[in-house]
Amino acid sequence: MNVEPNRSFDLRAYLSIRRARIDATLESYLALEEPRALYEAMRYSLLAGGKRLRPILCLAACELAGARAEIALPTACAIEMIHTMSLIHDDLPAMDDGDYRRGRLTNHKMHGEALAILAGDSLLAHSFELIARRTVGVPAQRTLAVIAELGRAAGPRGLAGGQVEDLAHEGKYGVGVDVLEDIHTRKTGALLEAAVLSGAILGGADALTTARLRRYAQRLGLAFQIVDDILDLTSTCEAVGKNVGKDASARKATYPSVLGLAESRRHVEMLIEHAMSDLACFGDRATPLVALAASLAQSL
């Protein structure tokens, strides 16, 4: 079924309210402690802005499932910590070797490699502690299911495994779309999917709702990484707040390098259309998630 975004919904205002709530909560969850240098390095990247897409998805999925967004706030913030860890590690010299991220110097450029690695490790560990300690008002089984979902997304079947595959294919010719899809699904899609699923689990979604949200998130996650690949070719460091053109110089396998720009854009549009259709049966309850998907296609 074709789904049109609700034109009276003000996505910009919605995002800005949600971002402010997430930013304030992140700040309150990570006060400066000892060792000060470590906390400073963690806060440097975590509180540097960022679109906060994953926590926003988590809260929206929780509401779609019929619960208050507030109960998913600790998990949403924990997901942003896991995401920030992955950005810090991704930028390290042993990986993508980036100089800029979120509009400022990368963590290791500012704090040194050792602290950057430890700041990433600490954010990852802290995220799970946060979920276990701060989640209230939901049955403990749901919290456990969320921890399992996020552990899977961060590990060898998700972020870490996807990154290994990504690095292994650098500089290789003839990488097929199926391989590329697998890398993107793990490296980027897994955490987006886990963000949506965690919100749904905490909100008490039934099996059908969970299945539809999972498909939506998988399509959105893949589209998101293809857009990221396209912007690496077509955008500027000022516009995206991080180095661009790195995929081509590292001869990375990306959708634009395998399919070309025009076909990659068509692929994004198709994925987004299907992602929006996945939510058609939820009507107005899906308005924010539909609008978020539509805005991704418009960002090209």
Binding interface with ligand GRG (CB under 6 A): 50-51, 53, 83, 86-87, 89-90, 95, 102, 154, 159-160, 163, 187-188, 225, 228
Residue number with the smallest Cβ distance to ligand GRG: 50
Q: Is 16 helix (H, G, I), strand (E, B) or coil?
A: helix
Contact between residue 81 and residue 48 where contact means Cβ atoms under 8 Å apart = no
CB nearer to ligand GRG: give 126 or 187: 187
CB nearer to ligand GRG: give 185 or 225: 225
CB nearer to ligand GRG: give 71 or 85: 85
Q: Where are the alpha helices (DSSP H) in the chain?
A: 11-29, 36-46, 53-64, 73-90, 107-111, 113-134, 140-154, 159-168, 177-184, 190-202, 207-234, 237-240, 246-249, 255-259, 261-278, 287-298
Question: What is the smallest separation between the CB atom of 102 and ligand GRG, expressed in angstroms?
Answer: 5
Question: What is the smallest separation between the CB atom of 75 and ligand GRG, expressed in angstroms?
Answer: 17
Contact between residue 3 and residue 287 where contact means Cβ atoms under 8 Å apart = no
Q: For residue 207, which amino acid is it?
A: A
Contacts 24+ apart (CB under 8 A), 136-143: 136/71, 137/71, 138/67, 138/71, 138/202, 138/204, 142/201, 142/202, 142/204, 143/202
CB nearer to ligand GRG: give 95 or 233: 95
Question: What is the smallest separation between the CB atom of 91 and ligand GRG, expressed in angstroms?
Answer: 8
Question: What is the smallest separation between the CB atom of 152 and ligand GRG, expressed in angstroms?
Answer: 11
CB nearer to ligand GRG: give 64 or 153: 153
Contact between residue 251 and residue 170 where contact means Cβ atoms under 8 Å apart = yes
CB nearer to ligand GRG: give 67 or 296: 296
Question: What is the smallest separation between the CB atom of 236 and ligand GRG, expressed in angstroms?
Answer: 15
Question: What is the smallest separation between the CB atom of 246 and ligand GRG, expressed in angstroms?
Answer: 12
d(CA 59, CA 70): 8
